[in-house]
């Protein structure tokens, strides 16, 4: 029976990777559903096996072709109909996704991108703003952006940029950074007079650095510091950066894991032009931003919409509204009062595919003047 290697589902090759078994179940039906359009070069073993094994006596598609059943159809040139499977496919790690990040190659942000997509191509960007723009201008498929870390807390600039840009959060990555002390080859720890790194990385290594008795210098990016020390041949300067930065810029690792316990953990967001379709097959998180009117208990009321539905909050952050920093409230008792006006960012543990999440946001929308969903994405559960 000669079906092997000849039939293809006209919906597309990606089905040959289908982990759900959807492809094979559709192919199994081929011989019973004769109006099912298929031809080409299918190479999925599971599919081929099931067709051959289950219906050995029935005519193959090639038999049907030779009998003229399909002769007038130029099936391979038909457009590919879109299916739910196409819309919900999560990129497998073999796809060469292009990911923008801030910093030079060897930075922790690049390490986070490689953790999420081990075979991705990374695109270094100068500023956080450029990381967003790279995706908006289709220079990159996704962006990886630090949003908070265990030593410095929230990275406020990125909360502001999330609102200013229209990208969607499609994932999160938690990275336990191995903070390494690097120096030029041949330099010993005792020769160092200063150590350069990102301020939050320096803060995480403060115990180690004070024992070393060196001056510390803040720089914008750990890998940038490694490149600076290497290219200027600075013999008195060490850097705290990744092991990968040591390799890229030809520095030696003098000490590994110089961070104080419990380590330096950064949470990064993965951003894309399009949102992903929320599901319930694994734990999902949803990130939103909203404003509230002035008044006693309004934030309490906003938080209650989640508490009432047993929805756990994992993060709350407030940021001033830059465009409209002060709100004037006319009060008959006290006269005109001016308050700072805030944006509230909340992450909660529920998928937008769940009715409790939909009703919580419906409830919030009843009294929040502004509400935007920044993304609904699978939770990183490995840490």
Ligand X SMILES: O=C(O)C(=O)C[C@]1(C(=O)O)C=C[C@@H](O)C=C1
108 binds ligand X (CB under 6 A): yes
- Tell me, yes or no, if 266 is annotated catalytic: yes
- Residue 223 and residue 327: Cα distance in Å, rounded? 42
**Minimum separation from the CB atom of position 142 to ligand X (A):** 16
Tell me how far apart the alpha carbons of residues 267 and 225 are, in angstroms, rounded to a whole number. Answer: 22
Q: Which of 200, 205, 259, 286: binder of ligand X (CB under 6 A)?
A: 200
Catalytic residue from among 39, 132, 268, 344 = 268
Using CA atoms, how far apart are residues 41 and 147, in angstroms rounded to an integer? 45
170 catalytically annotated: no
Among 50-58, 64-72, 130-138, 197-205, which window interacts with ligand X (CB under 6 A)?
Answer: 197-205
* Distance (Å, whole) CA 222 – CA 111: 12
- CB contact at 8 A, 373 and 357: no
Minimum distance between the CB of residue 256 and ligand X, rounded to whole angstroms? 16
**Quick one: 170 or 266, whose CB is closer to ligand X?**
266
Q: Smallest gap, in angstroms, from Cβ of residue 278 to ligand X? A: 28
| Region near ligand X per CB under 6 A, out of 16-24, 103-111, 290-298, 355-363 | 103-111
Neighbouring residues of 382: CB distance < 8 A, sequence distance ≥ 6: 174
Told to check if 48 binds ligand X by CB under 6 A, we report no
In angstroms, the CA 363 to CA 188 distance is 61
Measured distance CA(177)–CA(143) in Å, rounded: 19
- Classify residue 259 by burial, with Cβ atoms within 10 Å: 0-12, 13-18, 19+: buried
Give the total of residues touching ligand X (CB under 6 A). 14
Options 266, 286, 287, 351; binder of ligand X; rule CB under 6 A = 266
**Least distance to ligand X from the beta carbon of 319, Å?**
17
CB of 250 to ligand X, least distance (A): 18
Identify the residue whose tokens are 């070069």. 41
The site string for ligand X over 205-234 (x = CB under 6 A, - otherwise) reads: ----------------xxx-----------
- Closer CB to ligand X, 201 or 343, in the complex: 201
Beta strands in 203-263 (DSSP E): 215-218, 237-241, 252-255
Minimal CA–CA distance to 104: which of 292, 275, 248? 248
For the chain, state the CA radius of gyration.
27
- Considering only residues 30, 61, 144, 155, which one is a binding residue for ligand X as defined by CB under 6 A? 155
171 near ligand X, rule: CB under 6 A:
no
- List the catalytic residues: 266, 268
Residues that bind ligand X (CB under 6 A): 103, 107-109, 146, 149, 155, 198, 200-201, 221-223, 266
């Amino acid at each position: 029976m000669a079906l092997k290697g000849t039939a293809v589902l006209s919906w597309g090759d990606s089905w040959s990777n289908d982990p759900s078994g959807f492809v094979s179940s559709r192919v199994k039906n081929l011989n019973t559903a004769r109006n099912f359009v298929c031809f080409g070069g299918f190479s999925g073993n599971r599919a081929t096996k099931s067709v051959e094994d289950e219906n050995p006596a029935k005519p193959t598609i090639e038999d049907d072709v030779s009998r003229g059943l399909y002769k007038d159809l130029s099936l391979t040139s038909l457009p590919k109909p879109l299916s739910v499977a196409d819309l919900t496919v999560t990129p497998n790690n073999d796809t060469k996704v292009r990911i923008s990040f801030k910093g030079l190659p060897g930075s922790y942000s690049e390490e986070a991108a490689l953790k999420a997509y081990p075979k991705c191509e990374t695109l270094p960007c100068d500023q956080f703003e450029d990381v967003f723009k790279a995706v908006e201008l289709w220079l990159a498929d996704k962006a990886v952006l630090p949003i908070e870390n265990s030593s410095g807390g929230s990275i406020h600039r990125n909360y502001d940029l999330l609102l200013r840009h229209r990208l969607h959060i499609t994932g999160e990555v938690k990275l336990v950074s191995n903070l390494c002390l690097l120096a030029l080859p041949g330099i010993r720890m005792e020769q160092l007079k200063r150590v350069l790194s990102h301020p939050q990385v320096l803060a995480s290594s403060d115990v180690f650095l004070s024992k070393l008795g060196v001056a510390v210098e803040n720089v914008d990016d750990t890998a940038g510091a490694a490149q600076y020390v290497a290219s200027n041949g600075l013999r008195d300067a060490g850097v705290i950066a990744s092991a990968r930065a040591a390799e890229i810029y030809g520095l030696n690792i003098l000490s590994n894991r110089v961070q104080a316990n419990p380590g330096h953990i950064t949470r990064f967001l993965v951003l894309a032009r399009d949102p992903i379709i929320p599901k319930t097959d694994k734990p999902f998180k949803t990130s939103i931003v909203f404003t509230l009117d002035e008044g006693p208990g309004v934030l309490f009321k906003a938080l209650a919409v989640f508490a009432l539905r047993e929805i756990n909050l994992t993060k709350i952050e407030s940021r001033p509204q830059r465009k409209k920093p002060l709100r004037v409230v006319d009060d008959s008792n006290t006269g005109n009062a001016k308050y700072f006006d805030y944006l509230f960012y909340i992450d909660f543990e529920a998928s937008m595919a769940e009715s409790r999440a939909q009703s919580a946001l419906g409830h919030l929308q009843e009294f929040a003047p502004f509400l935007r969903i920044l993304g609904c994405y699978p939770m990183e559960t490995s840490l």
